[in-house]
Each structure stands twice: as structure tokens, then as C-alpha cells.
A = this chain, B = another copy of it.
Amino acid sequence: MLGDLELEVRHDTEASEMRIIGIDPGLRRCGWGVIEVEGSRLSFVECGTIRPPTEGELAERLAVLHRELDAVLGRMRPLEAAVEETFVNKGPRSALTLGQARGVVLLTPAIRGLPVAEYAANLVKKSVVGTGHAAKDQIGLMVKTLLPGSKAGDADAADALAVAICHAHHRVAAARVKALA
């Protein structure tokens, strides 16, 4: 059952505890969510949304995004990061803008030496809701179900927690493959 997250996992292939940060990149709103993984159990730690200033020099806005995300990493001490690979369908100009924020979001944990995984938005939805075409509010509801006590105040933080959950599932699978090899 997805609700209990009782995946068939060999506990010995897992580190005893793993803290993951999921990030939903954006220049105006960048969601982040931290969870803890112990064997097949996931638990909510904290989440939030970074809102860089919407005016001023682009470089300075990116610097605020970097500083605030780096402060979260320093406070939360995750061991791995996962970032949503957003599908872009709004033309090259908005893809460029999103790309700039994504570059900073991928770089910031990498500077701290964290491995940074990327997951397509469809895979994230599938991991959390069971289908690749879920509505925003469905994701929020499932995140609350999968992570009791989750306090995602907005869709960005909920999306970030969904990316973290997706990574938790997939790194377990990767560990199993490794164990079999």
C-alpha cells in the first residue's frame, strides 16, 4: 500500500537513516521539503518556500535564492538532494528564466558536496499519486497522507516534498539493484 509506504525493501541495503531535501525550482517561488528515510519509513522534517525579490538585477535575485537555499541546507543538513526536472512548454524565454533558477538550485547543494538527483515531473507525480497526470491539489493531499504531520503551506513546498518522496523510492530501488549485482 502506498499509504503505508511498506515497500518490499531489504533493510540491510539501507543506511540506518537518510535525510533528503527535495526542491521545486523557481525564481519567484522555490519550494523545499526535507524528509527522513529509515528503511522503508518516511517522515516529515520541515518544508518551506523561498521567495526571492521579484524586482532588481537578475544576478542579485539569483544570489538571494542561493543564499536562502544554502541557509536551509546548513540548518537541515540533508545528505542527498533531489530536484524536479520541469517540463517546459511555454516557449524559449520562460525556459531560459526557469533554467537560470534551476542552475542555481542544482549548484547550491553540489557546492556543499551533496549528490543531486533529478526527476521528471511525471515520475514525481507517479511516485506520489500513482499517475503521471495528477492535479496540483492531489499531490498536496497525497503528500499529507504519506508524510503525517506534514505542514506544507503551499503547492511549492508540497511539490518539493513530493520530489523528496520520489527520490526516497528510487534510491531504495537503486540500492536493491546494487545489492543484487
Contacts and interface: CB of A to CB of B under 8 A. Distances in A.
A53 interface: no
Contacts of A90: 92
A139 to B, nearest CB: 22
Contact of A95 (B58, B63, B83, B93): B93
A118 interface: yes
Q: What is the count of identical protomers in the complex?
A: 2
Interface of A: 57-60, 62-63, 66, 81, 83, 88-93, 95-104, 106-107, 109-111, 115-116, 118
Nearest to A58: B106
10 contacts: A60-B110, A62-B103, A62-B106, A88-B96, A95-B99, A99-B99, A100-B100, A100-B102, A103-B107, A104-B104
